[in-house]
Structures are given as structure tokens and as C-alpha cells.
């Protein structure tokens, strides 16, 4: 008996020496693993224009790191009570827990728990999840070294930011947002206990998929907190009785998907994939969530024609709203939300008559008055190209203002011919249209540009930004989606600057805006009227394949486009129909709390009165193909106008903004 006792004491002493040696070796042995601080992969966060979190990147690990001082004491204590009650007393490992796990593994049963919080951090940050003795030894070794390098508070903070909670959420902040739709610092005791119970088995204890097991686990956590004095019996009872409300799966991220993708791509191009998906950037954007909601709500007017072979409902839609004074993108819808193709920034579509303001601006800036008389009559400009108006009638002598308001086609063509297509291209480019083709066999340096017949097309974002120049007295701002990017340490990596550039004469702009206001009061865009100063232009392409309304107030410029991804016609939809209605509904809601303001008239600008025109029979073809009338027409002045002569210009459009020819209107 004495020999057995002596052997046992010897083994215990030897074990103690081994343990002591292990601790000493672990304390002082160098480790390449700890040569650098632990940097946990983290999802980047997106904020709206008011600094509210609106989305996180879809990283492999959806993690939003937060400092320990933002983790409520109830959540810290819940983890300590249920995972490692001696956390503040041990030096990295709980010997009793290790011994229990070691003996269990020796006898062939499943490896038991007992890992300290520090060991769990070591395992998650540096090791695999293999359940072996060797991994357990490495885990303990690294845990002791972690305790030498970091304080208990630093270790607990890293642990709380590291652990997995299910539903793709890593760390307590991401978990709080995922399960409860709130920040960790705002969690109640009951919510803290629920989250603290998840890491043991996130799938099994998930309150979303297994509410009974989740509640039972929450009660275990609360009982442990009560046992070790972190809460009172009354607090435990109240927390167990609290009915938890979980976040719904439909959130802001879904309605903002196109905008978030647009911002993400910009950051990836600037800083790389890893920076966005692993380094936890804070990305501050220009989006106004109230305006974004208004944009999505306005789509109630969007019809459903059919579902194509790609399972996309047609037609599709894009809405983009830009602040004219800054270029800030305030709202963006890139489609119906069922795919990744952002039509607001990637779809180059034919603009039809929505392109005509560039023609008229070029004319005004080159000395042609809104009161200039142009003759709308049938003309052949080239073989197989004899554009018509939507109503298939000719309107004779009309002022340039009337031609734009009613979107007549022949006047627009003749004005483009007068100033030159290349001049129209120059103005469009200065205002931000970058897709125009100026060289090669197929290019835009021809008269078709007057009706929006382009080689490639334009994007809704560029149209919205270009019309914002008109709202901003001729000053262009490059569209901006991101105002600031901050790294996880608080260092500002990028900050945008608003750099307006005066690209067009403000006096010419005002005269054009004055004309475009009447588009909405008596022209093709009356369906877009919103009861405050606004201007805009409809656009409809041949065969009804694209329908546009682009309009603005002094505060906001918005483009609405509707079209079929597969190029099918839109059931005779024009820009004055659904696009105008969507624009109206969006702008009314977006500007509901913004006082109405008028467009600023530059000093010295005189708006010419409309001329009095004697009407004639205008529906007879009397001009040879390709030739422009050169006779000077007498104009009878209006009340405040002056007698004026001008070469008779020709154009063609339609009273409802649609051409039935093979050109774009």
C-alpha cells in the first residue's frame, strides 16, 4: 500500500513539475504566431448621409469589431459566467478543465470542454478546429503566451469580436445587428443572455430555427449569472419572462443593394478586395435613406409585362437622384432587385427626346433665341430617313420654345444642323455625358443626335448629373457616392471634395430651364407636375423600347428610365406616362420637407416673349430631300418682343414625344 501511495505521489509530483515546466516554457519561448498583433478579418460598414449604419459587406466572416467599452457589462458577464468563470484569476488555462478534457480523451470518449476564454481565442485565431490532444496542447501553449502579451480586457475584447454566432455573424456587434437589429451596447439582459448561449452550438441553439432550445440555453446562462452573483434573482426572473423580438430578414440592405454594390466596386478599385472584405473599413456615403425609400415606393407605377427566361420581370427600371449643388447621389434604384446588374450606372440606353435639351442649350448659347421661329414640316434628310412627329402631323411655323415643349422632331434636327452636331456633342460632354462616340465608322457626329439616336446610348446616372448642371446654373459636379472612408483604427483614408466646374453660361442655362418648365405645364411632361418650380424632358425611343423622364428642381435632379432588358417594346409607353408618374411620386415624397424654391435668374437675362405666328397648311411635302429652306421669315412680335428675322430652321418631334420612324425621339 505504501508503495502504491509513494508511486502516486511521485506521479503527482512529476505531473506538477511537467505542468510547471510547461508554463515556464510557454511563458518565455518565442512564438512566430504572436510576433504581430491579432488582426481579425472584419466586414466593412456602410453609413448613410446622417451617419447611420445601413449595410455591411457580404464577407466570408460578417464581423464588425467594437471596443470593449461598447459591450454592455451584462454581455461581458454572461460570457464569463457560462464560458470561463475564473477568467480574471487564471493565467490562460483552467487546469481543472484541461485535466478533465485530458482524462476524457485518454479513455476514448469525446473530448470534453473546459477551454478558457483565452484558449478559445487562441484556437479561433491561430489553430484549426480539430479535436485532438496535440491541438489542445498548442492551444494551451498559445493561451499562456497571449496572457503575457495582452491584458485581460484586451483578450476579452478580441474574444467577443472573434466568436461565431450563426447566421453568418462573427462577433457580438454583428450578432446583435443580425438577431435583434440593434447595436450591442443597446442589448437588454435577456438579449445578452441569448447571444451568450449561442457560441456553444450556433445552429442548434438558434432562436430563429430552434426557439425552444434557444430559450433553454438562455435560461442556463441566466442561472449561471445568478449563481456567480452577476445578477439578482429578480433580474433573472424578469429576463426569462421577457419576450424577445428578432430582426426581420427584410432590411435596408435589400433596398440599397444596387447603391451598396456601386460603392463597393469603387472601394475595391481603389484599395483592393481584401480591404473591403477583411479590413473593416467604415464607408460613409451620400445616400439619403428617406429619399431611397421614396424611390422604391414610387415604383408602384411600374407595370409587370412578363417574366423572361432569366426569371427577371420585365420591364426593368432605374431611378437616380442627384443633389445639383454637390453631385451627391441621394437615391439609386438599379432594377427590380432580383439581379446584380445596376441599370442606373451600367445600362447604356437610347435617350430619345430626353437628349434634346443639349441641342437647344447649344443653340441658345450660340445666339439662337427661344423665340426664334422654326418650320415644322416634312423633310427628307437622307435616304430612308424622314422623321415624323408622334401625332403624324406637321405644325408649321413654331417658336423654338414650342418645339421643345411639344418635342417636335424637325425643329430639333434643323437646330442641330444649324449649330453642328459636333457642337451638340461638346455641350453634352461638358455636362458629363461620357459615352458619346466621336470617331470611327459609326459615331455620333451626325443629325440623328438631335433625336437621341446615339451609337452607344447614355446611362441614367449621367443623364441625372447632366440635367443637374441645368439646376445648378451651368455648374457641373461629378456624381459622388462616397464622402469618406475610415480604416478600423480611425485613420481617414479618403475624403471627397465637392469641386463644381462652370461649364455653361448661366444666362443660356436659365433660358433653357425656362423653356423646360413649360414641358411640365403644357407639354409632353404634364404628368410629372409636382406643384413647385420644376423643369424636365420626356424621352421615348423608336418602337417604344425606352421611356425616360429626366427632371429637376433647384434642389434635386432625378432621372427615371424604363425599358426591357431584351429590347422588346413597352406596349406604347412614352416618357410622359409611367416614367413621369414615377418621377412625380418620388420627387413629391423626397422633397416633402424641403421648402420650395425657384430657379435663380442671372442678372441681365430677358426672357423673350413668344412670337405671334400666322398658321398655314403645313402638311404638304414641298421640300426636296436633304435641303433646308433658306428664306428669311418675318415674325410678328409678341407683346414685349421685338421684330426679328431668322433663317427658317426645321425640326421634327411629336406632341407626345414619340417618333414612328427608325430614329430615336
How would residue 307 be classed by pLDDT, with cut points 50, 70 and 90? Answer: very high
Q: Are residues 346 and 474 in the same domain?
A: yes
pLDDT at res. 619: 56
Q: Is residue 477 part of a domain?
A: yes
Residues 235 and 337 in one domain: no
Residues 230 and 339 in one domain: no
87 and 196 both lie in a single domain: yes
Query: For the segment 215-230, what is each residue's pLDDT rounded down to a tens digit?
Result: 999 999 999 999 999 9
Q: Is the pLDDT of residue 431 over 90?
A: yes
Each residue's pLDDT tens digit, 437-489: 998 889 999 999 999 999 999 999 999 999 999 999 999 999 999 999 999 88
Q: Specify whether 337 is located in the same domain as 236.
A: no
- Per-residue confidence (pLDDT) for residue 241, from 0 to 100: 95
**pTM here?**
0.73
Here the cell at position 51 is 451617419
Unique residue bearing C-alpha cell 473593416: 280
Kindly state whether residue 627 falls inside one of the protein's structural domains.
yes
Tell me, yes or no, whether 519 lies in a domain: yes
> Tens digits of per-residue pLDDT, 31-67?
555 545 566 677 889 999 999 989 888 666 677 888 9
Contact residues for 368 (Cβ-Cβ < 8 A; gap 6+):
400, 415, 418, 419, 646
H helices of 107-230, in order, are: 117-126, 133-149, 152-162, 172-180, 189-197, 211-227
The whole-angstrom separation of Cα 397 and Cα 33 is 84
Strand 45-47 to 282-285 pairing: parallel
The least confident of 84-88, 224-228, 361-365, 490-494 is: 84-88
Joined together, the cell numbers standing for residue 431 give 455636362
Task: Specify whether 336 is located in the same domain as 213.
Answer: no
Residue 353 is a catalytic residue: yes
Domain end residue (candidates: 241, 270, 301): 241
pLDDT in tens, 356-373: 999 999 999 999 999 999
Set 83, 139, 173, 191: catalytic member: 83
Domain that holds residue 152: 64-241
Same domain, 213 and 342: no
- Cα gap 473→557, rounded to integer Å: 13
Mean pLDDT of all residues belonging to the chain: 83
User: Which region, left, alpha or beta, applies to residue 272 given φ > 0 means left and ψ of -120 to 50 means alpha?
Assistant: left
**Region 403-428 average pLDDT:** 97
Question: Phi and psi of 442, rounded to 5°?
Answer: -105, 115
- The cell for 518 is 413649360
- Do 361 and 457 share a domain, yes or no? yes
Say if residue 175's pLDDT is above 60. Answer: yes
- Specify whether 214 is located in the same domain as 357: no
Is pLDDT larger for residue 295 or for residue 164?
295
Q: Which three cell numbers stand for residue 453?
A: 439616336
> Does residue 306 belong to any structural domain of this protein?
no
629-653 burial: b if 16+ Cβ within 10 Å, else e: beeebebeeeeebeebebbbbbbbb
Q: What is the pLDDT of residue 231?
A: 95
Q: Domain holding 408: CATH number?
A: 3.40.710.10
For residues 635 and 373, give the distance between their C-alpha atoms in angstroms, rounded to a whole number: 7
Does 193 fall in a domain?
A: yes
| CB contact at 8 A, 664 and 541 | yes
Boundary-marking domain end, from 207, 241, 275: 241
Active-site residue identified among 44, 255, 353, 464: 353
pLDDT confidence tier of residue 618, bands split at 50, 70 and 90: low
State the cell numbers at 31: 512564438
Based on the fold, state whether residues 445 and 577 are members of the same structural domain. Answer: yes
242 is catalytic: no
Distance, in Å, from the CA atom of 517 to the CA atom of 288, rounded to the nearest integer, reads 26
Are 433 and 541 found together in one domain? yes
Question: What pLDDT score does 133 carry?
Answer: 67
**Does 650 score more than 80 pLDDT?**
no
4 falls within a domain: no
First to last CA, the chain: 107
Cβ neighbors of 263 (< 8 A, separation 6 or more) are 46, 283, 285, 481, 482
Please give the average per-residue pLDDT across 258-284, as a whole number: 89
430-362-432 Cα angle (round to 5): 20
Give the separation between CA 607 and CA 601, rounded to whole angstroms: 10
CATH number of the domain bearing residue 209: 1.10.3810.10
Q: Is the pLDDT of residue 17 over 60?
A: no
Position 295 in a domain: no
- H-run or E-run covering 495: strand 492-495
421 and 553 both lie in a single domain? yes
CB atoms within 10 A of CB 202: 17
Which of 211, 241, 271 is the last residue before a domain boundary? 241
Total domain count, the chain = 2
- Residue 386, classified by CB atoms within 10 Å of its CB into exposed (0-12), middle (13-18) or buried (19+), is middle
What's the full length of the chain, in residues?
Answer: 665
41 lies in a domain? no
Do 633 and 643 touch, CB atoms closer than 8 A? no
Distance (Å, whole) CA 592 – CA 579: 20
Amino acid at each position: 500500500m505504501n508503495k502504491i501511495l509513494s508511486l502516486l505521489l511521485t506521479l503527482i509530483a512529476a505531473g506538477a513539475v511537467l505542468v510547471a515546466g510547461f508554463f515556464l516554457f510557454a511563458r518565455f519561448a518565442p512564438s512566430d504566431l504572436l510576433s504581430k498583433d491579432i488582426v481579425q478579418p472584419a466586414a466593412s460598414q456602410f453609413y448613410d448621409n446622417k451617419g447611420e449604419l445601413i449595410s455591411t459587406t457580404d464577407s466570408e466572416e460578417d464581423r464588425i469589431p467594437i471596443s470593449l467599452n461598447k459591450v454592455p457589462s451584462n454581455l461581458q458577464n454572461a460570457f464569463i459566467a457560462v464560458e470561463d468563470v475564473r477568467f480574471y484569476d487564471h493565467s490562460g488555462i483552467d487546469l481543472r478543465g484541461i485535466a478533465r478534457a485530458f482524462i476524457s480523451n485518454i479513455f476514448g470518449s469525446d473530448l470534453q470542454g473546459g477551454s478558457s476564454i483565452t484558449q478559445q481565442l487562441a484556437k479561433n485565431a491561430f489553430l484549426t478546429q480539430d479535436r485532438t490532444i496535440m491541438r489542445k496542447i498548442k492551444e494551451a501553449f498559445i493561451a499562456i503566451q497571449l496572457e503575457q502579451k495582452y491584458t485581460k480586457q484586451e483578450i476579452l475584447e478580441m474574444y467577443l469580436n472573434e466568436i461565431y454566432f450563426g447566421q453568418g455573424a462573427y462577433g457580438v456587434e454583428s450578432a446583435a445587428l443580425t438577431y435583434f437589429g440593434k447595436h450591442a451596447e443597446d442589448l437588454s439582459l435577456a438579449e445578452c443572455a441569448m447571444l451568450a448561449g449561442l457560441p456553444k452550438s450556433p445552429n442548434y441553439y438558434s432562436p430563429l430555427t430552434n426557439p425552444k432550445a434557444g430559450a433553454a440555453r438562455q435560461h442556463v446562462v441566466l442561472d449561471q449569472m445568478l449563481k456567480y452573483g452577476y445578477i439578482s434573482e429578480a433580474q433573472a426572473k424578469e429576463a426569462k419572462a421577457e419576450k424577445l423580438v428578432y430582426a426581420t430578414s427584410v432590411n435596408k440592405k435589400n433596398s440599397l443593394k444596387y447603391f451598396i454594390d456601386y460603392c463597393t466596386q469603387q472601394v475595391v478599385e481603389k484599395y483592393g478586395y481584401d480591404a473591403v472584405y477583411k479590413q473593416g473599413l467604415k464607408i460613409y456615403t451620400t445616400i439619403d435613406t428617406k429619399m431611397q425609400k421614396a424611390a422604391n415606393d414610387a415604383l408602384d407605377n411600374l407595370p409587370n409585362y412578363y417574366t423572361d427566361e432569366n426569371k427577371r420581370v420585365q420591364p426593368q427600371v432605374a431611378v437616380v437622384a442627384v443633389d445639383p449643388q454637390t453631385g451627391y447621389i441621394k437615391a439609386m434604384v438599379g432594377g427590380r432587385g432580383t439581379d446584380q446588374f445596376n441599370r442606373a450606372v451600367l445600362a447604356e440606353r437610347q435617350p430619345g427626346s430626353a437628349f434634346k435639351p443639349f441641342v437647344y442649350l447649344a443653340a441658345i448659347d450660340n445666339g439662337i433665341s427661344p423665340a426664334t421661329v422654326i418650320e415644322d414640316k416634312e423633310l427628307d434628310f437622307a435616304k430612308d430617313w424622314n422623321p415624323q412627329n408622334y401625332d403624324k402631323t406637321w405644325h408649321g411655323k413654331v417658336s423654338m420654345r414650342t418645339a421643345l415643349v411639344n418635342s417636335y422632331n424637325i425643329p430639333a434636327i434643323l437646330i442641330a444642323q444649324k449649330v453642328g452636331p459636333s457642337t451638340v456633342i461638346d455641350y453634352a460632354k461638358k455636362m458629363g455625358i461620357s459615352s458619346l462616340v466621336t470617331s470611327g465608322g459609326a459615331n455620333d457626329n451626325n443629325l440623328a443626335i438631335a433625336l437621341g439616336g446615339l451609337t452607344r446610348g447614355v446611362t441614367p446616372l449621367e443623364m441625372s448629373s447632366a440635367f443637374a448642371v441645368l439646376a445648378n446654373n451651368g455648374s457641373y459636379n461629378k456624381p459622388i457616392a462616397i464622402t469618406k472612408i475610415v480604416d478600423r483604427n480611425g485613420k481617414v483614408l479618403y475624403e471627397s471634395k465637392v469641386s463644381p466646374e462652370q461649364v455653361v453660361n448661366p444666362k443660356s442655362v436659365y433660358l433653357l430651364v425656362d423653356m423646360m418648365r413649360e414641358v411640365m405645364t403644357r407639354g409632353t411632361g404634364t404628368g410629372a407636375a409636382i406643384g413647385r418650380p420644376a423643369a424636365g424632358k420626356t424621352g421615348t425611343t423608336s418602337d417604344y423600347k425606352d421611356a425616360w423622364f429626366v427632371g429637376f428642381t433647384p434642389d434635386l435632379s432625378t432621372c427615371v428610365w424604363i425599358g426591357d432588358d431584351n429590347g422588346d417594346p413597352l406596349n406604347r409607353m412614352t416618357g410622359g406616362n409611367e416614367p413621369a408618374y414615377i418621377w412625380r411620386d418620388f420627387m413629391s415624397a423626397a422633397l416633402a420637407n424641403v421648402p420650395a424654391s425657384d430657379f435663380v435668374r442671372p442678372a441681365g437675362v430677358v426672357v423673350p416673349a413668344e412670337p405671334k405666328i400666322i398658321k398655314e397648311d403645313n402638311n404638304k411635302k414641298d421640300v426636296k430631300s436633304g435641303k433646308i429652306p433658306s428664306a428669311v421669315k418675318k415674325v410678328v412680335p409678341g407683346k414685349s418682343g421685338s421684330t426679328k428675322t431668322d433663317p427658317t430652321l426645321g425640326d421634327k418631334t411629336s406632341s407626345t414625344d414619340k417618333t414612328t420612324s427608325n430614329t430615336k425621339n
